[in-house]
Amino acid sequence: MSVLHIAEVTKTFSGGTHAVNSFSLDVADGELVCLLGPSGSGKSTLLRMVGGFEQPTSGRITIDGEDVTHLPPERRPTGMVFQSHALWTHMNVFKNLAFGLKLRRMPAAEIREKVEAVLELVGLAGYGDRMTNQLSGGQQQRVALARSLVLEPKILLLDEPFASLDQHLRERLREEVRDIQQRLGITTLFVTHGQDEALSMADRIVVMANGKTEQIGRPDVVYRDP
Protein backbone atom coordinates (compact mmCIF):
# COMPACT_ATOMS: atom_id res chain seq x y z
CA MET A 1 0.00 0.00 0.00
CA SER A 2 1.21 3.46 -0.82
CA VAL A 3 2.02 5.66 2.18
CA LEU A 4 3.42 8.66 0.38
CA HIS A 5 1.70 10.02 -2.69
CA ILE A 6 3.29 12.86 -4.66
CA ALA A 7 1.00 14.10 -7.41
CA GLU A 8 2.23 16.37 -10.19
CA VAL A 9 4.28 18.54 -7.87
CA THR A 10 5.99 21.55 -9.39
CA LYS A 11 8.32 24.05 -7.77
CA THR A 12 9.19 27.21 -9.62
CA PHE A 13 11.46 29.55 -7.70
CA SER A 14 11.13 33.30 -8.04
CA GLY A 15 13.47 34.07 -10.91
CA GLY A 16 11.91 31.28 -12.92
CA THR A 17 13.96 28.17 -12.11
CA HIS A 18 11.79 25.09 -12.52
CA ALA A 19 13.46 23.02 -9.81
CA VAL A 20 10.77 20.32 -9.83
CA ASN A 21 8.57 19.82 -12.84
CA SER A 22 5.22 18.01 -12.52
CA PHE A 23 6.79 15.19 -10.54
CA SER A 24 4.72 12.22 -9.38
CA LEU A 25 5.67 9.25 -7.21
CA ASP A 26 4.03 6.66 -4.96
CA VAL A 27 6.09 5.15 -2.17
CA ALA A 28 4.94 1.93 -0.53
CA ASP A 29 4.86 1.25 3.19
CA GLY A 30 8.36 0.32 4.40
CA GLU A 31 10.02 1.06 1.09
CA LEU A 32 13.35 2.85 0.74
CA VAL A 33 13.42 4.96 -2.41
CA CYS A 34 16.61 6.72 -3.49
CA LEU A 35 16.39 9.94 -5.46
CA LEU A 36 19.49 9.85 -7.61
CA GLY A 37 20.69 12.50 -10.01
CA PRO A 38 23.29 15.17 -10.69
CA SER A 39 23.53 18.38 -8.74
CA GLY A 40 20.68 20.72 -9.64
CA SER A 41 18.26 18.00 -10.76
CA GLY A 42 15.73 18.93 -8.07
CA LYS A 43 16.23 16.10 -5.56
CA SER A 44 16.70 18.29 -2.54
CA THR A 45 13.84 20.63 -3.40
CA LEU A 46 11.54 17.64 -3.81
CA LEU A 47 12.60 16.21 -0.46
CA ARG A 48 12.15 19.57 1.24
CA MET A 49 8.63 19.82 -0.14
CA VAL A 50 7.79 16.39 1.30
CA GLY A 51 9.19 17.56 4.65
CA GLY A 52 7.34 20.87 4.50
CA PHE A 53 10.44 23.09 4.29
CA GLU A 54 9.45 24.30 0.85
CA GLN A 55 6.01 24.99 -0.59
CA PRO A 56 5.08 23.51 -3.97
CA THR A 57 3.99 25.95 -6.66
CA SER A 58 1.38 23.39 -7.65
CA GLY A 59 0.54 19.76 -7.06
CA ARG A 60 -0.37 17.70 -4.03
CA ILE A 61 1.42 15.62 -1.41
CA THR A 62 -0.50 13.14 0.74
CA ILE A 63 0.74 10.91 3.54
CA ASP A 64 -1.49 8.05 4.64
CA GLY A 65 -4.30 9.67 2.71
CA GLU A 66 -3.96 13.02 4.47
CA ASP A 67 -3.22 16.06 2.34
CA VAL A 68 -0.08 17.60 3.90
CA THR A 69 0.78 19.92 0.99
CA HIS A 70 0.39 23.07 3.05
CA LEU A 71 1.24 21.83 6.54
CA PRO A 72 4.38 23.12 8.27
CA PRO A 73 7.14 20.57 9.03
CA GLU A 74 6.20 20.14 12.68
CA ARG A 75 2.69 19.07 11.75
CA ARG A 76 3.80 16.40 9.30
CA PRO A 77 4.59 12.78 10.18
CA THR A 78 8.04 13.19 8.61
CA GLY A 79 11.55 13.36 10.01
CA MET A 80 14.37 14.95 8.06
CA VAL A 81 18.12 14.47 8.33
CA PHE A 82 20.17 17.10 6.54
CA GLN A 83 23.62 16.94 5.01
CA SER A 84 24.99 19.04 7.81
CA HIS A 85 23.46 17.64 10.94
CA ALA A 86 22.62 20.93 12.69
CA LEU A 87 22.75 19.48 16.17
CA TRP A 88 22.54 21.81 19.13
CA THR A 89 26.12 22.07 20.31
CA HIS A 90 25.23 23.69 23.64
CA MET A 91 23.21 20.62 24.64
CA ASN A 92 24.39 17.12 25.36
CA VAL A 93 23.26 14.21 23.21
CA PHE A 94 20.45 13.32 25.58
CA LYS A 95 18.98 16.79 25.47
CA ASN A 96 19.28 16.97 21.69
CA LEU A 97 17.11 13.88 21.50
CA ALA A 98 14.76 14.76 24.35
CA PHE A 99 13.96 18.24 23.03
CA GLY A 100 11.23 17.29 20.56
CA LEU A 101 9.66 14.89 23.02
CA LYS A 102 9.55 17.59 25.70
CA LEU A 103 7.72 19.84 23.28
CA ARG A 104 5.16 17.08 23.02
CA ARG A 105 4.88 17.11 26.80
CA MET A 106 5.96 13.52 27.17
CA PRO A 107 6.62 12.50 30.79
CA ALA A 108 10.34 12.50 31.75
CA ALA A 109 10.50 8.77 32.46
CA GLU A 110 9.06 7.94 29.09
CA ILE A 111 11.44 10.40 27.39
CA ARG A 112 14.38 8.72 29.04
CA GLU A 113 13.20 5.31 27.93
CA LYS A 114 12.68 6.40 24.33
CA VAL A 115 15.99 8.27 24.11
CA GLU A 116 17.93 5.34 25.51
CA ALA A 117 16.25 2.94 23.11
CA VAL A 118 17.01 5.07 20.08
CA LEU A 119 20.63 5.63 21.16
CA GLU A 120 21.00 1.88 21.36
CA LEU A 121 19.46 1.55 17.91
CA VAL A 122 22.05 3.87 16.34
CA GLY A 123 24.94 2.30 18.25
CA LEU A 124 25.45 5.14 20.72
CA ALA A 125 24.25 3.58 23.96
CA GLY A 126 25.81 5.44 26.88
CA TYR A 127 26.57 8.61 24.89
CA GLY A 128 23.77 10.70 26.43
CA ASP A 129 26.11 12.86 28.50
CA ARG A 130 28.49 13.75 25.69
CA MET A 131 28.40 17.18 24.16
CA THR A 132 27.74 16.83 20.46
CA ASN A 133 30.83 18.80 19.46
CA GLN A 134 32.98 16.16 21.17
CA LEU A 135 31.69 13.50 18.80
CA SER A 136 33.17 12.41 15.48
CA GLY A 137 31.42 13.28 12.23
CA GLY A 138 29.92 9.82 11.94
CA GLN A 139 28.70 9.88 15.52
CA GLN A 140 27.13 13.28 14.96
CA GLN A 141 25.23 11.96 11.96
CA ARG A 142 24.05 9.01 14.05
CA VAL A 143 22.75 11.49 16.63
CA ALA A 144 21.00 13.46 13.89
CA LEU A 145 19.36 10.27 12.68
CA ALA A 146 18.40 9.36 16.24
CA ARG A 147 16.91 12.81 16.76
CA SER A 148 14.59 12.22 13.82
CA LEU A 149 13.76 8.64 14.73
CA VAL A 150 12.93 9.35 18.36
CA LEU A 151 9.87 11.29 17.22
CA GLU A 152 8.67 8.14 15.43
CA PRO A 153 7.99 9.68 12.03
CA LYS A 154 6.02 7.74 9.46
CA ILE A 155 8.43 8.83 6.75
CA LEU A 156 12.16 9.38 7.08
CA LEU A 157 13.76 11.93 4.74
CA LEU A 158 17.52 11.80 4.29
CA ASP A 159 19.26 14.52 2.29
CA GLU A 160 22.79 13.32 1.45
CA PRO A 161 23.38 12.55 5.12
CA PHE A 162 26.85 11.08 4.57
CA ALA A 163 28.17 13.63 2.09
CA SER A 164 30.64 15.16 4.52
CA LEU A 165 32.08 11.82 5.66
CA ASP A 166 35.03 9.90 4.22
CA GLN A 167 34.43 6.95 1.91
CA HIS A 168 35.03 4.22 4.50
CA LEU A 169 32.69 5.73 7.06
CA ARG A 170 30.12 6.43 4.40
CA GLU A 171 29.99 2.77 3.46
CA ARG A 172 29.63 1.72 7.06
CA LEU A 173 26.86 4.19 7.79
CA ARG A 174 25.06 3.19 4.63
CA GLU A 175 24.82 -0.37 5.94
CA GLU A 176 23.83 0.79 9.40
CA VAL A 177 21.07 3.03 8.10
CA ARG A 178 19.74 0.36 5.77
CA ASP A 179 19.72 -2.11 8.66
CA ILE A 180 17.89 0.31 10.97
CA GLN A 181 15.44 1.24 8.23
CA GLN A 182 14.57 -2.40 7.62
CA ARG A 183 14.30 -3.24 11.29
CA LEU A 184 11.90 -0.37 11.87
CA GLY A 185 10.17 -0.91 8.54
CA ILE A 186 10.15 2.86 8.11
CA THR A 187 9.25 4.35 4.74
CA THR A 188 12.27 6.34 3.56
CA LEU A 189 13.25 8.80 0.85
CA PHE A 190 16.99 9.10 0.43
CA VAL A 191 18.62 11.80 -1.70
CA THR A 192 22.04 11.09 -3.14
CA HIS A 193 24.16 11.87 -6.17
CA GLY A 194 26.18 8.71 -5.60
CA GLN A 195 25.16 5.78 -7.76
CA ASP A 196 26.94 3.32 -5.44
CA GLU A 197 24.97 4.59 -2.51
CA ALA A 198 21.66 4.26 -4.35
CA LEU A 199 22.49 0.80 -5.66
CA SER A 200 23.49 -0.56 -2.28
CA MET A 201 20.58 0.86 -0.29
CA ALA A 202 17.47 1.29 -2.39
CA ASP A 203 14.42 -0.85 -2.94
CA ARG A 204 13.75 1.45 -5.86
CA ILE A 205 15.71 4.21 -7.51
CA VAL A 206 14.27 7.33 -9.08
CA VAL A 207 16.79 8.87 -11.44
CA MET A 208 16.03 12.59 -11.69
CA ALA A 209 16.97 15.09 -14.36
CA ASN A 210 15.67 18.62 -14.72
CA GLY A 211 13.09 18.16 -11.99
CA LYS A 212 11.57 15.09 -13.58
CA THR A 213 11.84 11.32 -13.38
CA GLU A 214 14.22 10.17 -16.05
CA GLN A 215 14.14 6.55 -14.99
CA ILE A 216 12.55 4.54 -12.20
CA GLY A 217 12.95 0.95 -11.10
CA ARG A 218 14.67 -1.59 -8.92
CA PRO A 219 18.43 -1.12 -8.57
CA ASP A 220 19.34 -4.02 -10.87
CA VAL A 221 17.10 -2.66 -13.62
CA VAL A 222 18.28 0.93 -13.35
CA TYR A 223 21.88 -0.21 -13.26
CA ARG A 224 21.61 -2.34 -16.37
CA ASP A 225 20.03 0.44 -18.37
CA PRO A 226 21.61 3.73 -17.31
Q: Is 138 in the site for ligand ADP (CB under 6 A)?
A: no
Using rule CB under 6 A, residue 212 touches ligand ADP: no
> Which string of x and - marks every residue 91-130 that binds ligand ADP (by CB under 6 A)?
-x-x---x---------x---x---------------xx-
17 touches ligand ADP by CB under 6 A: yes
Q: How far apart are CA 139 and CA 41, in angstroms?
A: 29
Question: Does residue number 9 form part of the binding site for ligand ADP (CB under 6 A)?
Answer: no
Among 14-22, 66-74, 139-147, 148-156, the segment contacting ligand ADP (CB under 6 A) = 14-22
Using CB under 6 A as the binding rule, whether residue 41 contacts ligand ADP is answered as yes
Sheet holding 18-28, edge to edge: 18-28, 2-12, 58-63, 66-67
Closest to ligand ADP by CB, 42 vs 161, is 42
Give the number of residues in contact with ligand ADP, rule: CB under 6 A: 19
CA distances from 151 to 30, 111, 199 (A): 17, 10, 28
Contacts by 10-14, CB closer than 8 A, 24 or more apart: 10/56, 10/57, 10/58, 10/59, 10/211, 11/42, 11/45, 11/46, 11/49, 11/54, 11/56, 11/57, 11/211, 12/57
Instruction: Write out the residues near ligand ADP by the rule CB under 6 A.
Output: 13, 15, 17, 19, 37, 39-45, 92, 94, 98, 108, 112, 128-129
